[in-house]
Amino acid sequence: MSGSSLDGVDLACCRLERKNTGWHFEILTGETVDYPSTWRKRLEQLPGSDAFAFAQTHVDYGHLLGQMAFDFIHRLQVKPDFISSHGHTVFHRPDLGFTSQIGDGAAIAAEAGLPVICDFRSMDIALAGQGAPLVPIGDKLLFSDFDFCLNLGGFANISYDDTHGKRIAFDICPANTVLNRLAQKMGYSYDPDGRLAKEGTIIEPLLDELNCLPYYNQPPPKSLWKDFTSKNIEPLLDRYPGSIPDLLRTYVEHIAIRVAASMHVKPAGKKSLVTGGGAHHIFLIERIKAHTSHSIMLPDRLIIDFKEALIFAFLGLLRMLGENNCLASVTGASRDSSGGAIYTGMRQ
């Protein structure tokens, strides 16, 4: 996994098994490999580059991921059946009928010597869906004990079953992409535990404008990409004078309000599983708890940090079995589908 916040590449070694009681999983181990500064810069600049640079980076990034996977597997001395790769999203425009996650599957397979499943979103886009989020089928089948599954990553997103048992999911709002960018202006890569935000004061007019953005009134299915942040969030933050802690404090409150609003569909007291990097933001979790009457539950660190990698492993397994791994009820596609391109590669 590589998220929009460019924190690095998440690698997880997972065991999945289907029993009479349903699917069971274990995350054996996981680690995050930071990007070298040259790669971080290259990925940041890629959306504005030319077609040649895009094609070259797609292949080079595939080789990078394959080398990371091979090193990970060699150090752990494990023998996985296959590799599932989300890749790194460069463009996501379901409104125009396309999405693009770089990381050439053939290059990954060549480096790692294992079958690779990648490009999970394109089939759903071709079926007129949003191509996102894809994680909800894993939420439904692996984390059915929870009423809500909330992920606080570069963007906050949520999934849950409606009263008819149909899975509903959508992106809530930008989260770590905004918080990290603000913290970086003070020389931090992120706001540790939310300490900077906690020192600030809410800028009420800014909070009002953030909460009035039209996206929040749109019904699901819906999804976000960084264009939303650059066109809607960043101009508002730039417009209001204030210290970085004040801006962080205001934006944390905005996330908490939007998350709570997304949970209003169920009566009080339901269980919410919270994962993703934002789950480590102690102050953000405090503010979410202050705005909702639902139980906010944090699992162990492996699940917090590697739940999305686990679920993409699960999506790859479903694809290898020829079973649906993408829900039309979530994405708005014309039907459920089994998405993902499969590459084979055996290292001698």
Task: Compute CA 82 distance to the chain's CA centroid, rounded to the nearest angstrom.
Answer: 21
**99's tokens:** 């999405």
261, 216 Cβ separation under 8 angstroms: yes
Question: Looking at the domain assignment, is residue 140 inside a domain?
Answer: no
Question: Is the domain of 286 the same as that of 333?
Answer: no
Total count of domains within the chain:
2
Residue 139 belongs to a domain: no
- Joined tokens for residue 120: 């999970």
CA pair distance 178, 204, nearest whole angstrom: 18
pLDDT at 5 over 80: no
- With CA atoms as reference, report the closest residue to 68 among 134, 145, 13, 144: 13
Mean model confidence pLDDT for the chain: 95
Same domain, 33 and 76: yes
Confidence of residue 346 (pLDDT cuts 50, 70, 90): low
Domain membership of residue 43 (yes or no) is yes
Contacts of residue 52, Cβ cutoff 8 Å, sequence gap at least 6: none
> Rounded to two decimals, what is the model's pTM?
0.92
Peptide bond into 221 cis (omega under 30): yes
Among 318, 278, 306, which residue's Cα sits nearest to residue 72? 306
Q: 247 pLDDT exceeds 80?
A: yes
For 4-18, what is the mean pLDDT? 91
Judgement on whether residues 177 and 219 belong to the same structural domain of the protein: yes
Looking at the domain assignment, is residue 91 inside a domain?
A: yes
* 326 is a domain residue: yes
* Gap between the terminal Cα atoms of the chain: 26
Residue 191 shares a structural domain with residue 162? yes
Q: Tell me the per-residue pLDDT of 284-337, one tens digit each, with 9 for 90 and over.
A: 999 999 999 999 999 999 999 999 999 999 999 999 999 999 999 999 999 999
Domain interval for residue 87: 9-128+309-343
Q: Are residues 152 and 282 in the same domain?
A: yes
How far is residue 224 from each of residues 3, 37, 133, 273, measured CA to CA in Å? 13, 26, 10, 21
* Same-domain pairing of 180 and 207: yes
Query: Please, what's the largest Cα pairwise distance for the chain?
Result: 63
Report residue 348's pLDDT band, with 50, 70 and 90 as the boundaries. Answer: very low
In a domain, 1, yes or no: no
CATH code of the domain containing 284: 3.30.420.40
Q: Are 310 and 12 in contact (CB under 8 A)?
A: yes
Residue 138 maps to a domain? no
Considering the domain architecture, whether residues 124 and 182 belong to the same structural domain is answered as no
Task: Give the C-alpha separation, 286 to 202, whole Å.
Answer: 15
Three-class secondary structure of residue 207 per DSSP = helix
* Whether residue 263 is found in the same domain as residue 208: yes
